Amino acid sequence: MFGFTAAFGAGILGALQQAPKAVLAYSSISQMGLMTVTLGCLFFKPELTPLILPLLALFALHHALAKGALFLSVGINTQQASIPSLLFHLGLLLPALSLIGLVGSGLQAKLLLKDGLYALYLPGIVTVFTLSALATTGLMCRFLWLLRQERQQLASSTEKDQWMQAAWAGLLIVSFMAASLFTFGLDTKNIWQHPMEFIGMLWVPVIGLIGAYWFVTHPLNASIPQGDLVVFIENKLSSLEPNTAERKKETPNFIQWVDKDSQKSPSASLEIFSRSQVAALLGVVLLIANLMIWLN
């Protein structure tokens, strides 16, 4: 239940974020929800643990590399003028498409993990896993849209960091080829030999793209603060502390309506360690802890 809630709930909350890195953090929460669901299924079929765990590790590795490339894309976004346009846009699109599961290591990781889930013989798990691409597609569209808005606001930027660009390029290559470099004996699939499996994965992202286009053309001027429930609980707890009347009160609303004309750059207010990133890190720690407990 918690895994399903994270997988789909984070998609909704992330789509209402105003900072690109916050959207990526909620995307991580969504992906960790899928991994939590998979681990939970192993309690029903523990004999399949040797089959599922390597597939889950590949899925986690692919996610970490692709997400790292996307986080670096936020910094690269201001350096567009110093990068050839085709390479720049490919560098933004490839890790996003990989996370959705349409190209590169993301496609291989999802195909292999779906095959493993079929072996569990648990009704609906594979369907939910497939539908989770809706959340990922929506979040990636939101992320790329926010980067586009930033580029429009910083059109005259001439920043250039060659080390960052080199790291970004290297991470893009490694993340795209992770299924070939780090499978360690896993039987990866040749998509040209299994075209119907690839076609079967297309319909969910296509629906997600249609939904994303509708929201772009019919924008909802609302925002959820980074940290969502953490912010809400903090405000409630602070109201119980003494001398709160002397302090400037923060906005207690869970959903904040945004004035687009007065809105700052989407990442201007993002702190280095935002609450959403801390929440994502905590989720990773809990996931690793659960895995260690299970293995022992």
How far does CA 154 lie from the centroid of its chain?
25
Q: How far apart are the first and last CA of the chain?
A: 24
Identify which of 182, 202, 173, 187 has the alpha carbon closest to the alpha carbon of residue 113: 187
Q: Look at 123 and 116; give whichever has higher pLDDT.
A: 116
Tokens at residue 133, please?
Answer: 């691409």
Residue 248: predicted pLDDT? 47
pLDDT, one tens digit per residue, over 156-213 is 667 777 888 888 888 888 888 876 676 666 666 666 666 777 777 778 888 888 887 7
Phi, psi for residue 220 in degrees, rounded to 5: -100, 110
Residue 150: predicted pLDDT? 86
pLDDT, one tens digit per residue, over 64-75 is 889 989 999 998
Residue 294: predicted pLDDT? 52
Phi, psi for residue 222 in degrees, rounded to 5: -135, 155
Rounded Cα distance between 30 and 23, Å, is 11
In the chain, domain spans: 2-295
DSSP bridge partners of 256 = 223
Tokens at residue 154, please?
Answer: 């910083």
Q: Decide if pLDDT at 262 tops 60.
A: no
Which residues, in sequence order, are CB contacts of 261 under 8 Å at separation 6+? none
Residue 273: predicted pLDDT? 41
Diameter of the chain measured on Cα atoms: 69
Number of alpha carbons in the 13 Å side-chain half-sphere of residue 168: 25
pTM of the model: 0.74
Rounded Cα distance between 161 and 176, Å, is 23
Assign 50 a pLDDT band (cuts: 50, 70, 90).
confident
Q: How many CB atoms lie within 10 A of CB 2?
A: 11
Tokens at residue 21, please?
Answer: 């890195």
Among 16-20, 96-100, 211-215, 233-237, the least confident range:
233-237
Q: Decide if pLDDT at 155 tops 80.
A: no
- Residue 184 burial (10 A CB sphere; 0-12, 13-18, 19+): exposed
Residue 134: predicted pLDDT? 87
Rounded Cα distance between 187 and 184, Å, is 9
For the residues 113-133, what does the mean pLDDT come to? 79
- Per-range mean pLDDT, top range of 102-116, 184-198, 249-263, 267-281: 102-116
Q: Decide if pLDDT at 13 tops 60.
A: yes
Residues of the chain above pLDDT 70, percent: 66
Query: DSSP character for 267?
Result: T
Rounded Cα distance between 225 and 228, Å, is 5
Residue 269: predicted pLDDT? 42
Contact 69, 168 (CB under 8 A): yes
